[in-house]
């Protein structure tokens, strides 16, 4: 492959004009090809979509796909695609997360759009498997850099910066087509969202020819800022504090409890969607094999994984390069059990503590990974806000988006309209008073041998397919070895945020954990619906006072229903079973504090 600056080198992407769809829009140019990475280990499968006419410089939107996805995840290529529309016209409607949020849509409105398949996935091509990842070690075995690197700031993030830089330098396309180096927007979902967050920290760099490039707007969707906490939560993440930004201090905390079913699913996707099916870097395989085994995680492999997850893959711990503040519109789902809203809230709290006027808006709803329902109207609402965000910050079009944090209540049932929207200028202003609920009957012993008949129903990965994205309801049975108590409601109540559990615990051994489920009990049906859950890793054996928050939700409890708090020492398969054999945790002095929605924040029925 020719070097990008080689005299007479042909650009790697070839363009063809595509017609408008059913008279909607103006058509576009789709440019496609392969581009070698800077480290020369990999050839990336790249597309650039351009307006039908013009040479720019165009504002640029970059899409970053989810784990195991490809460049096509946000692409519409021809009229055979039922979503191939530029606008809602009464007859043709795009559905799902691509409605008014795809390459054709933005190109028809004057943007250039970059989509590419992340390093190591699907149709990418390994150029040199002898080039090893910097995370590789001899004891891990073969770790080619051309395979997926799990959103490493030194690989996937640099790949994105390099491709954007080459578009700025006009070396990917014909030299008469360019993009603006200061009008770059990045939108990433899940795996791509983790990278998007990191690009808000390393948000300026120089193109191969030396032009300064800047991320002018970012939209991370259903993703993480602390990958260790997302995959292995220890219960210390909160929505009312600014966590330490010091990696060494973060590493002194107890290692959390692996989200076993989710992480196992991610491991399978990495293997199946890798360009070399069944193959992932040796170091990732070693990390996975160790973290899916019992605690304590004090060995060299565990510590290496923990350190690299924090320092190379977590935006929260990356220092921002330069003084420019990339405007951020972040989306998370309360019902998303892998990347809940606290992942964005902790970054929001950090950024606002550093600059009270930092340009960041948040949206929390029933959207994301399992068990989110992802209703079409809610996705369309999110996409409309994404359009406004990019239009203003990249083109200066439309009014400046109001400073808002929005949260939508859960409405169970795919045929049920989306829930009530609450909006305020800050996250704190969304909340009214917190309701204290003593749980005096929650006294006794939890057992790691508890065999909960609901465990598979509550696992977010169980029932992949038609049953995976739905509210989870069960009967009222409490497993032997678990503890539970109901608190009846004499008036309706809307919970908004992350409930807090307080208790005294005396475990029989070190490294045990307490998991909590919060249910809505309907006495008329004898069924309980999971509202939220959480987990807390106990530090050691012996008596200790525990305070932790659940993942949270925005949820309407009806008058006459009950809140039910259930505690367990065995939340497998959602969380990894305690590995120290049979044990008990004596529990006393339990209380629950439930945050409620501020009445003034309610904006829609």
Report the distance separating Cα 183 and Cα 595, nearest Å: 39
Tracing tokens 């995959």 back to the chain, one arrives at 231
Q: Which residues of 552-572 are buried (b: 16+ CB within 10 A; e: fewer)?
A: bbbbbbeeebbbbbbbbbbbb
The DSSP call for residue 168 is: H
Q: How far is CA 333 from CA 240, 413, 554, 555, in A?
A: 18, 16, 10, 13
Report the distance separating Cα 489 and Cα 496, nearest Å: 16
Tokens of 16: 């063809």
- Which tens digit of pLDDT belongs to each residue from 383-398? 999 999 999 999 999 9
Give the pLDDT score at 604.
Answer: 72
Give the pLDDT score at 87.
Answer: 39
Read off φ and ψ for residue 478, nearest 5 degrees.
Answer: -110, 125
Give the pLDDT score at 7.
Answer: 41
Report the C-alpha dihedral over residues 120, 124, 128, 134, rounded to 10 degrees. Answer: -20
- The 3-state DSSP class for residue 595 equals strand
CB-count burial class (<10 Å; 0-12, 13-18, 19+) for 594:
buried
Nearest to 29 by CA among 101, 106, 123: 106
Report the distance separating Cα 334 and Cα 498, nearest Å: 10
Q: How far is CA 194 from CA 69, 225, 485, in A?
A: 14, 7, 38
Q: How far is CA 422 from CA 408, 427, 459, in A?
A: 6, 10, 28
Give the pLDDT score at 540.
Answer: 87
Give the pLDDT score at 470.
Answer: 87
Alpha helices in 372-503 (DSSP H): 376-395, 455-458
Report the distance separating Cα 58 and Cα 398, nearest Å: 18
Report the distance separating Cα 382 and Cα 13, nearest Å: 32
Q: DSSP letters along 93-147, please?
A: ---GGGTT-SHHHHHTTT-EEEEE--TTBTT-EES-TTSBPTT--GGG---BTTS
* DSSP collapsed to 3 states, 482-505: EEEEEEECCCCEEEEECCEEEEEE
Give 562's Cβ-side CA count (13 Å radius). 18
- Please identify every stretch of the chain with a pLDDT value under 50, giving residue numbers as ranges: 1-3, 5-8, 84-95, 463-466
Report the distance separating Cα 133 and Cα 142, nearest Å: 9
Give the pLDDT score at 85.
Answer: 46
Rounded to two decimals, the pTM is 0.95
Residue 593: count other Cβ atoms within 10 Å of its Cβ: 15
Question: In terms of residues, how long is the chain?
Answer: 605
Return all residues near 28 (Cβ < 8 A) that are at least 6 apart.
Answer: 17, 18, 49, 50, 51, 52, 103, 104, 107, 108
Strand-pairing partners, residue 406, are: 363, 423
Read off φ and ψ for residue 355, nearest 5 degrees.
Answer: -150, 105
């Amino acid at each position: 492959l020719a070097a990008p600056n080689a005299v007479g080198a042909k650009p790697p992407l070839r363009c063809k004009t595509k017609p408008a769809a059913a008279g909607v829009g103006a058509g576009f140019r789709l440019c496609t090809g392969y581009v070698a990475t800077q480290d020369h280990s990999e050839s990336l499968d790249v597309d650039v979509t351009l307006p039908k006419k013009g040479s720019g410089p165009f504002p640029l939107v970059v899409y970053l796909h989810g784990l195991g996805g490809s460049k096509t995840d946000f692409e519409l290529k021809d009229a055979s695609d039922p979503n191939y529309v530029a606008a809602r016209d009464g007859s043709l409607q795009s559905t799902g997360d691509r409605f008014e949020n795809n390459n054709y849509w933005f190109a028809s409105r004057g943007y250039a759009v970059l989509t590419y398949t992340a390093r190591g996935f699907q149709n990418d091509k390994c150029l040199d498997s002898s080039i090893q990842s910097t995370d590789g070690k001899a004891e891990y075995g073969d770790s080619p850099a051309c395979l997926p690197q799990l959103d490493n700031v030194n690989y996937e993030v640099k790949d994105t910066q390099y491709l954007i830089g080459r578009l700025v330098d006009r070396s990917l396309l014909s030299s008469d087509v360019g993009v603006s180096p200061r009008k770059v927007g990045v939108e990433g979902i899940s795996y791509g969202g983790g990278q998007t967050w990191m690009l808000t920290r390393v948000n300026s760099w120089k193109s191969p020819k030396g032009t300064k490039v800047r991320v002018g707007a970012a939209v991370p969707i259903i993703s993480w800022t602390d990958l260790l906490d997302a995959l292995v939560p220890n219960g210390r993440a909160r929505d009312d504090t600014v966590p330490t930004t010091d990696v060494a201090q973060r590493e002194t905390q107890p290692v959390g409890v692996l989200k076993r079913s989710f992480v196992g699913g991610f491991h399978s996707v990495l293997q199946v969607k890798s360009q070399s099916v069944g193959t992932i870097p040796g170091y990732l395989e070693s990390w996975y094999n160790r973290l899916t085994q019992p605690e304590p995680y004090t060995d060299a492999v565990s510590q290496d994984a923990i350190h690299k997850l924090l320092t190379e893959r977590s935006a929260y711990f990356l220092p921002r390069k330069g003084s420019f503040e990339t405007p951020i519109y972040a989306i998370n789902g309360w019902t998303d059990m892998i990347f809940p809203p606290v992942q964005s809230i902790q970054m929001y709290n950090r950024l606002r503590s550093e600059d009270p006027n930092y340009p960041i808006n948040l949206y929390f709803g029933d959207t994301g990974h399992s068990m989110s329902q992802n209703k079409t109207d809610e996705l369309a609402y999110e996409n409309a806000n994404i359009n406004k965000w990019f239009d203003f910050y990249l083109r200066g079009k439309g009014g400046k988006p109001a400073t808002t944090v929005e949260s939508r209540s859960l409405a169970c049932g795919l045929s049920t309209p989306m829930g009530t929207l609450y909006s305020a200028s800050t996250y704190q202003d969304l909340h009214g008073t917190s309701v204290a609920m003593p749980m005096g009957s929650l006294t006794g012993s939890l057992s790691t041998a508890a065999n909960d008949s609901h465990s598979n129903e509550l696992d977010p990965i169980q029932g992949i397919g038609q049953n995976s994205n739905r509210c989870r309801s069960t009967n009222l049975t409490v497993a032997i070895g678990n503890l539970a108590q109901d608190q009846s409601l004499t008036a309706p109540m809307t919970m908004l945020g992350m409930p807090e559990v307080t208790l005294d615990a005396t475990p029989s051994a070190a490294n045990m954990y307490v998991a909590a489920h919060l249910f809505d009990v309907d006495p008329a049906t004898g069924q309980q619906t999971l509202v939220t859950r959480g987990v807390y890793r106990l530090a050691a054996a012996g008596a200790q006072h525990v305070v932790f928050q659940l993942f949270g939700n925005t949820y309407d409890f009806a008058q006459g229903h009950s809140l039910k708090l259930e505690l367990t020492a065995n939340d497998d398969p959602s969380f990894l079973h305690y590995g120290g054999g049979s044990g008990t945790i004596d529990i006393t002095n339990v209380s629950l504090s439930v945050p409620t929605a501020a009445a003034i924040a309610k904006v829609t029925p």
